[in-house]
Chains A and B, each alone.
Chain A
Amino acid sequence: MGRKKKRNIAAEISMILLLLIIIFPLYFMAANSLKTHEEYVVNMTGLPREFTVQNYVEAFQGKPFGQWIWNSFFLTVAATLVTAAAALLCGYAFAKMEFKGKNFLFQCIIPLMSVPPVAMIIPQFRLIKVMGLVNTRASVILIYVGIMLPMTIYLMRNFMKTVPDSLIDAARIDGCSSLKALFKIMIPLCIPAVITSSLVNIVWVWNELLISLVFLQKESLRTLMVGITLFKGRFTLNIPVIMAGLVIATVPIVLVYIFAQKYLIEGMLAGSVKE
């Protein structure tokens, strides 16, 4: 168990096998997205003999794929930004301010992380109806923010706790109000925490299915995940086109992972109560 660099053949072989199990479904998706349907039928597992990007063209032409991508993108950016702003303020209060009921309120936040979303959907739907927000992006953004807030507040508060009080006190002596202290001192220091939690939130919103499925019934508002789930039904016969759709839905997340792996993993480990 020491951390010596010694080659261990048995361990390496088992890891390579594991790697194959992980990669195979992804390879299957990517390779088949580049085949014609005729080739897929006779050659499911091999590399494409003739590369074709026709499936991608078809995905964009016939179906509102571009619209779905835009919808997902819009929801992801808006929900992540609102969550970060509300969680920054809230996390700052919990980490650096004294007020009655602080510990109690903070304790209340943590259990909210594990409420099953399915259970809340009908009451949420009725509320959204009363608010006149049925079939609007605002309704879904509101619900996403609510679901992401507990974990994000938790991360922000824990991170801000590590910022020395002396820095804020110095700002107070200079006559800064709390809000100024937050903007001038905490926000710059909190950028890593904001990035970390936002990456987790970006991945979650982009991948989310249930809430957008229920709350956005209008064709023009559908998200990419709902789109590809329905897409499957419409194109059942043309599997390569479906695979092209899946690749398009996956590439943004994989890019986030490639460029920000360290932050993303850190965030997911730190706030690991939800998907």
Chain B
Amino acid sequence: MKKRKICPYLFIAPAFMILIVVIVYPIINMIYQSFFSSIAGQDKFVGFRNYKLALSDELFWIALKNNLKLFLCVPLLTAISLVIAAILYNKIWGWRIYRSFIFVPYILAIPVVGIVFSYLLQYNGVINMLLIRIGLPGLASDWLGDPKLAFPSVAAVIIWKQFGFGVVLFLARMMSIDQALYESADVDGATWMQKFVSITIPQTKSIIEFYVIITLIEMLSWVFNFVYVLTSGGPGNKTTVLEYLIYKKSFGGGDFNIAMAISVMLLLMAGVLVVIHQSILKKED
């Protein structure tokens, strides 16, 4: 019978060995290194010095503020996706085709999307050309180079690429709503808006919660590529996010122990969201 007991562990061993090497050990090493400083090739324990240095760096706060500003995309993405899903749910003519196209940006590579948009948004790019053509030359701007506009422009590209996911997610849930609910509301003479607010939203509530949390995690942990390709954090750090700051401190000749301290803080923030995510998943089970 001993074989029986070892067997499950043999099954999970390859996956866990890889996870330990690729994720678990690096996290432990990151936490460890965040308390050390590399002086002449020797690791020296410095307590919270790296954290203090990180927190006293103005760039850290700029990057954190930008991540928090990106959180504002979440309600926007949720609202846009919900409304589009609700429109498609009415089975308007050709809704399957719309759904197919709406998902396309989500599967495209961020470098591809980023490069295309950088040509659309540059000063002598297409967006400005169209603005001039329709008689609004005053609105033409350097969308990614202007300190005021760079951040909203990056956010708009993120929304363009990501919204399709929410639409398809919400639409899938709406399709499983009991039709009898709508039929009885129809009998009562409810309007589209009334049905949307009192049936569709409550019925999709749990999936909306789930979506909000994973999108918040994305805005914190998975936006590096957008920033790297579109603006490299500029102009004047207006679009620097925590991930990009870690990258710059790690590879730009900066102090990588400080980068590790910032990484730990980013991980803690993501951790809070993960705990909320987990509790929602458990509720679903």
Contacts and interface: CB of A to CB of B under 8 A. Distances in A.
Q: Do A and B come from one complex?
A: yes
A90 B22 contact: no
Given A25-B116, A111-B274, A250-B109, A105 B225 contact: no
B225 A115 contact: no
B7 A115 contact: no
A97 B112 contact: no
A11 B132 CA distance: 29
Contacts of A275: 110, 218, 222, 225
Interface residues of B, number: 100
B41 interface: no
Nearest to B86: A1
A47 B5 CA distance: 67
A108 to B, nearest CB: 9
Interface stretch (A57-65, A146-154, A163-171, A187-195): A146-154
A49 interface: no
B135 interface: no
A19 B266 CA distance: 36
A106 to B, nearest CB: 9
Nearest to B114: A229
A44 B179 contact: no
B89 A3 contact: yes
Contacts, number: 263
A127 B11 contact: no
Nearest to B130: A45
B218 to A, nearest CB: 7
A178 B267 CA distance: 38
B214 A120 contact: no
B84 A18 contact: yes
25 contacts: A2-B182, A2-B186, A4-B91, A15-B87, A26-B116, A28-B120, A86-B14, A89-B15, A90-B16, A97-B11, A105-B16, A110-B274, A119-B30, A120-B23, A124-B26, A143-B22, A145-B18, A146-B18, A147-B22, A243-B116, A250-B112, A253-B109, A272-B214, A275-B222, A275-B225
Given A2-B182, A127-B26, A225-B111, 13 more contacts: A12-B94, A18-B84, A25-B113, A25-B160, A107-B278, A114-B221, A114-B274, A117-B224, A142-B21, A149-B15, A209-B109, A246-B115, A261-B103
Interface residues of A, number: 91
B212 to A, nearest CB: 12
Which applies to chain A's interface (DSSP): helix, strand, loop or mixed?
Answer: helix
Contacts of B101: 19, 22-23
Contact of B8 (A4, A12, A98, A209): A98
A114 B281 CA distance: 14
A31 to B, nearest CB: 11
A142 B18 contact: yes
Given A19-B98, A28-B120, A142-B21, A5 B91 contact: yes
Given A114-B273, A246-B112, A178 B7 contact: yes
A124 B7 contact: no
A209 B225 CA distance: 7
Contacts of B250: 121-122
B220 interface: yes
